[in-house]
């Protein structure tokens, strides 16, 4: 049985933030288990900044089913955690089960990847104090208010955490995350 990686989503998770890691991790031989507030189908969205706009425009995208609810996850069964971006983290960060899961992965130093607004979850879990963290620039305040250090780079690794700004950085930080998972599996 391949090692399992938990992929966190909710309604309005960004499609590219979610689907690229979903398939990249499977390609690397991991079993990807999608988790949400409930085991149901979630509506992903597409985010882009159109020419001439200063803010992100959101549009509907694909759908993805969660295999398991956060409350039913046994974190010891997982090798790593991937936290997707989009608007989903705005409300997911209030889920006590998800925050407890997130804290488990940091306390046990298992590999964690976060992209874009996923930082709102790790900030709410209070696990980034003193750490260097990449995220979309408009979430820099979340990092700083939580005691972290915002870094405007496509791939930032600090201990067991690797982070990227947006889906445009998937090719940068996902390679590092896969490497981290392989190191953890070998340990």
d(CA 86, CA 58): 9
Residues 6+ apart with CB under 8 A from 44: 9, 12, 13, 14, 15, 18, 19, 61, 62, 63, 64, 86
d(CA 104, CA 132): 19
Is 47 a known active-site residue? no
Within 10 angstroms of residue 131's Cβ, the number of other Cβ atoms is 20
Residues 6+ apart with CB under 8 A from 106: 112, 122, 125, 127, 160, 161
- Burial tier of 97 (Cβ tally within 10 Å: 0-12, 13-18, 19+): middle
Catalytic pick from 63, 117, 149, 168? Answer: 117
Residues 6+ apart with CB under 8 A from 118: 8, 17, 83, 84, 85, 89, 135, 163
Active site residues: 117
């Amino acid at each position: 049985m391949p090692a399992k990686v938990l992929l966190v989503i909710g309604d309005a998770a960004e499609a590219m933030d979610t689907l690229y890691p979903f398939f990249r991790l499977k390609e690397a031989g991991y079993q990807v288990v999608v988790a949400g507030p409930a085991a149901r189908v979630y509506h992903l969205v597409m985010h882009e900044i159109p020419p001439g706009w200063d803010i992100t425009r959101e549009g509907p995208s694909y759908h993805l089913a969660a295999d398991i609810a956060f409350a039913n996850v046994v974190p010891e069964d997982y090798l790593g955690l991937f936290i997707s971006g989009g608007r989903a983290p705005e409300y997911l960060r209030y889920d006590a089960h998800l925050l407890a899961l997130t804290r488990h992965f940091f306390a046990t130093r298992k590999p964690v990847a976060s992209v874009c607004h996923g930082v709102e979850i790790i900030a709410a879990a209070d696990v980034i104090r003193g750490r260097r963290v990449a995220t979309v620039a408009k979430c820099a305040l979340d990092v700083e208010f939580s005691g972290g250090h915002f870094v405007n780079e496509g791939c930032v690794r600090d201990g067991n955490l690797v982070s990227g700004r947006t889906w445009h950085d998937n090719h940068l930080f996902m390679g590092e995350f896969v490497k981290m998972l392989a190191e953890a599996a070998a340990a």
